[in-house]
Chains A and B, each alone.
Chain A
Amino acid sequence: MKKPSFHPCGNFRESYAEELAVFDTWFGRVSLLVFLILLFGLAPFILDRYLLYILNNIGIMAIAAIGLNILIGYTGQISLGHGAFFGVGAYAGAILATRLNLPFFVCIPAAGLITAMVGMIFGIPSGRLKGLYLTIATLAGQFIIEYVLIQWESLTKGTMGITLPEPNILGVNIAGDKAFFFLIFACLVAMTWFAVNIMRSKFGRAFVAIRDNDRAAEGMGIPIFRYKLLSFAISSFYAGFAGALWAYYMVSITTEPFNLALSVEFIAMVIIGGMGSMPGAIFGATFITVLNEVLRFATGALMNVGWIAGLGLNMAPLREFVFGLAIVLFILLEPKGLAELWRIVRSSFRLWPFSY
């Protein structure tokens, strides 16, 4: 099938195959390829360690955000427990690696599967509950998981934390930011590819049907409970996978980071990036991670400004304030998120100079 090299100005699709196509144009496919080559070929070699560290974090967060986007953006179920699911993945990976001495390429998917099961347990209320009730149920899940992680000391070592061994593939040890960069981004590409294709399948269409009208979906013969659970499972698999990856990258983990604030950050990534958009989840993860870093610098810098230090103000809470403000502004001004902004920018190029 011949593909057009430019976007048409309207919807001229003639077959289902065209409707389902991942790339509308050759240009899109080629530019993605070029981007990936540049990313893998240049980024790890020209960036310094700190920037690479941020980039790696973005990659991990993007995996989790893509998963959450499947749940929120495509299936329309809200989860406030993804911070905890991320933690379950991290701990599952760490425990499998330290107790059972499993190799790392088994640990990470296994951690994902374990998290998927945990996610399904907290997805069970979705059989009866809708909307805000489900949100509250996942909120409870967040607190319960946090509690279990801290208190089940025989397994998780409680607040002591766990230190992970270096991952090892075919006898090659992966250590340092550069090696991890390749690992994380290879995973990200694979997981994105997987997610994009799920959404093109029967499952993806069922998810979207449930999001848009669950009663109608049920009337059309979609077993909605099963699909909702599946969506929970897939999305927590992503969270767990990302969590385990993060645990390996951080080397040692404690229960502290997997709190409600992390859950909120994940949702913020999905919303700021753009709900129901795969690139959106990656944009969102980038935005939030970079924002966090910038704010850390900014508050640190402000502390050293003479007159502010003189006031005796602690500028650290400014981070929280700006973070909240970013969420609020995006919801009020551009609820479709960065993905929509990106689309507007692209289409204004595409239609130039005769935009309407």
Chain B
Amino acid sequence: MDFFLQLLVNGVCVGLLYGISAMGFVMIFKASSVLNFAHGELLAMGAFFFLSLATWGKIPVAAAFVLTLAGCFLLGFLIEKFFLRPLIGEKLIFVIMLTVGLAAMFKGLILLVWGGNLHTYPEFLPASLELHLGSITIVPVYSATLVISVAFLVLFGLFFKKSSQGIFMRSVADNQKAALSLGVHVRRVFALSWAIAAMVACMSGIVLGIINGVNVHDLSAIGMKVFPVVILGGLDSIGGAIIGGIIIGLLETFTGGYLSPSLRDVVPYIALVFILMVKPYGLFGLVEIERV
């Protein structure tokens, strides 16, 4: 029973991480309908910026965090401006392959600058965040993850549902021409959504880095694992991303715990194929409204 509970808690924690990692991905999809294969590399960029600033630059953690977010905001903005803007309205495969190309570029760049080794951050989370549930302990990073993911969920939920900027973003994703006709600044919306999404991604990268250490290969593998998570939750639902993340996390830890550790990494993709066959728009995604 204890084993089961421990697996449950681990699963939820890992799942929350996946959920957080997926949020930036969902944002990009929501605002510009782009499937971002470079997401894992964006996570890594954030984690490494922070690493350089906090560990090697000896800048206080809070300042380094803010600087990293600002840097990633700029990075997202530049990616949109130089790479994705020329492709607005192009065929799906070009957009997908562009992000694949970007992923290779970023990965190469990161490996060139920081190398492929595992790096770790200094400890900076207060130990008081440690939670005890009966016999089970939740380490500070996980409770911090929980807090961060809930905060982001609420924040983005409000942003997209209530704020004008959020509604404009959704309108652009929905019908670009109509949005243009109403004076929505479409280019600005695209730039902004990439900037924000990159920022969210890099924040997730930092959280992942705190827990697992910073390594390009691991982070880009997580970028791939985002796919089952978002498909399960629905590609355009941020809440769905968190829930999808938790389900995938549980699936992984239970498979790893009870069936076989080697199956662990592939089980999300098996689940993915089944979901696609049964419920292609995910648990919380919008069903495509197609009228002729």
Direct contact of A and B (CB under 8 A): yes
Interface status of B273 (Cβ within 8 A of chain A): yes
Interface status of B105 (Cβ within 8 A of chain A): yes
With beta carbons under 8 angstroms apart, the residue of B86, B96, B104, B110 that contacts A135 is B96
Q: Which residues of B contact A320 (CB under 8 A)?
A: 104-105, 107-108, 111
Contact status B104-A124, CB under 8 Å: no
Contact status B272-A136, CB under 8 Å: yes
With beta carbons under 8 angstroms apart, the residue of B98, B100, B107 that contacts A317 is B107
Stretch of B162-170, B190-198, B224-232 on the interface side: B224-232
Contact status A314-B112, CB under 8 Å: yes
With beta carbons under 8 angstroms apart, the residue of A136, A215, A268, A271 that contacts B227 is A136
Contact status B101-A319, CB under 8 Å: no
With beta carbons under 8 angstroms apart, the residue of A133, A319, A325, A327 that contacts B276 is A133
Interface status of A51 (Cβ within 8 A of chain B): no
Interface status of B35 (Cβ within 8 A of chain A): yes
Q: Which residues of B contact A316 (CB under 8 A)?
A: 111
- Shortest distance between the CB of A303 and any CB in chain B (Å): 12
Given A125-B277, A132-B96, A133-B280, do A328 and B101 touch, yes or no (CB 8 Å)? yes
Contact status A140-B269, CB under 8 Å: yes
Q: Which residues of A contact B115 (CB under 8 A)?
A: 314
Q: What's the Cα separation between A321 and B218 when bound, in Å?
A: 18
Q: What's the Cα separation between A311 and B102 when bound, in Å?
A: 26
- Shortest distance between the CB of B234 and any CB in chain A (Å): 11
The bracket for how many chain A residues form the interface is 35 or more
Q: What's the Cα separation between A331 and B92 when bound, in Å?
A: 12
Contact status A324-B224, CB under 8 Å: no
Interface status of A196 (Cβ within 8 A of chain B): no
Interface status of A322 (Cβ within 8 A of chain B): yes
- Shortest distance between the CB of B160 and any CB in chain A (Å): 21
Contact status A321-B112, CB under 8 Å: yes
Interface status of A87 (Cβ within 8 A of chain B): no
Interface status of B262 (Cβ within 8 A of chain A): yes
- Shortest distance between the CB of B44 and any CB in chain A (Å): 13
Majority secondary structure of chain B interface residues (helix, strand, loop or mixed): helix
Which residue of chain B is the closest to A132 with respect to CB atoms? B35
Q: What's the Cα separation between A135 and B37 when bound, in Å?
A: 11
Q: For chain B residues 56-115, which have a beta carbon within 8 Å of chain A?
A: 83, 86-87, 90, 92-94, 96-98, 100-112, 115
Interface status of A143 (Cβ within 8 A of chain B): yes
Given A140-B228, A314-B115, do A129 and B266 touch, yes or no (CB 8 Å)? no
Contact status A143-B104, CB under 8 Å: no
- Shortest distance between the CB of A84 and any CB in chain B (Å): 11
Q: Which residues of A contact B129 (CB under 8 A)?
A: none
Contact status A271-B104, CB under 8 Å: no
Given A136-B276, A137-B273, do A324 and B103 touch, yes or no (CB 8 Å)? yes
Q: Which residues of A contact B108 (CB under 8 A)?
A: 317-324
Which residue of chain B is the closest to A315 with respect to CB atoms? B112
Contact status B276-A332, CB under 8 Å: no
Which residue of chain B is the closest to A263 with respect to CB atoms? B100
With beta carbons under 8 angstroms apart, the residue of B92, B105, B266 that contacts A147 is B266
Q: What's the Cα separation between A215 and B262 when bound, in Å?
A: 42
Contact status B273-A325, CB under 8 Å: no
- Shortest distance between the CB of B34 and any CB in chain A (Å): 9
With beta carbons under 8 angstroms apart, the residue of A137, A144, A271 that contacts B93 is A271
Which residue of chain B is the closest to A78 with respect to CB atoms? B93
Q: Which residues of B contact A318 (CB under 8 A)?
A: 108, 112
Q: Which residues of A contact B265 (CB under 8 A)?
A: 143, 147
- Shortest distance between the CB of A13 and any CB in chain B (Å): 27
Q: Which residues of B contact A335 (CB under 8 A)?
A: 90, 94
Contact status A331-B94, CB under 8 Å: yes
Q: Which residues of B contact A217 (CB under 8 A)?
A: none
Interface status of A264 (Cβ within 8 A of chain B): yes
Q: Which residues of A contact B103 (CB under 8 A)?
A: 324
Which residue of chain B is the closest to A324 with respect to CB atoms? B104
Interface status of B118 (Cβ within 8 A of chain A): no
Q: Which residues of B contact A151 (CB under 8 A)?
A: 262-263
Q: What's the Cα separation between A314 and B94 when bound, in Å?
A: 31
Interface status of B270 (Cβ within 8 A of chain A): yes
Q: For chain A residues 108-156, which have a beta carbon within 8 Å of chain B?
A: 124-125, 128-129, 131-133, 135-137, 139-141, 143-144, 146-147, 151
Q: Which residues of A contact B107 (CB under 8 A)?
A: 317, 320-321, 324
Q: Which residues of A contact B104 (CB under 8 A)?
A: 264, 320-321, 323-324, 327
Contact status B97-A331, CB under 8 Å: yes
- Shortest distance between the CB of A153 and any CB in chain B (Å): 11
Which residue of chain B is the closest to A335 with respect to CB atoms? B94
Q: What's the Cα separation between A221 and B201 when bound, in Å?
A: 46
Q: Mark B262-292, 1 if CB is under 8 A from A, else 0.
A: 1101100110110011001000000000001
Contact status B270-A144, CB under 8 Å: yes
Contact status B112-A332, CB under 8 Å: no
Q: Which residues of B contact A325 (CB under 8 A)?
A: 101, 105
Q: Which residues of A contact B96 (CB under 8 A)?
A: 78, 132, 135
Q: Which residues of A contact B110 (CB under 8 A)?
A: 317
Q: Which residues of A contact B112 (CB under 8 A)?
A: 313-315, 317-318, 321
Contact status A125-B273, CB under 8 Å: yes
Contact status B227-A139, CB under 8 Å: yes
Q: Mark A239-276, 1 if CB is under 8 A from B, else 0.
A: 00000000000000000000010001001100100010
Enumerate the 6 nearest inter-chain pairs by beta-carbon distance, A residue then B residue, closest first: A321-B108, A324-B104, A327-B101, A317-B111, A324-B105, A320-B108
9 contacts between A and B (CB under 8 A): A135-B35, A137-B273, A143-B269, A324-B102, A324-B108, A325-B101, A328-B98, A328-B102, A332-B98
What 9 additional pairs, Cβ within 8 angstroms, besides A314-B111, A325-B101? A132-B35, A137-B273, A140-B270, A146-B266, A271-B94, A320-B105, A321-B109, A324-B107, A331-B101
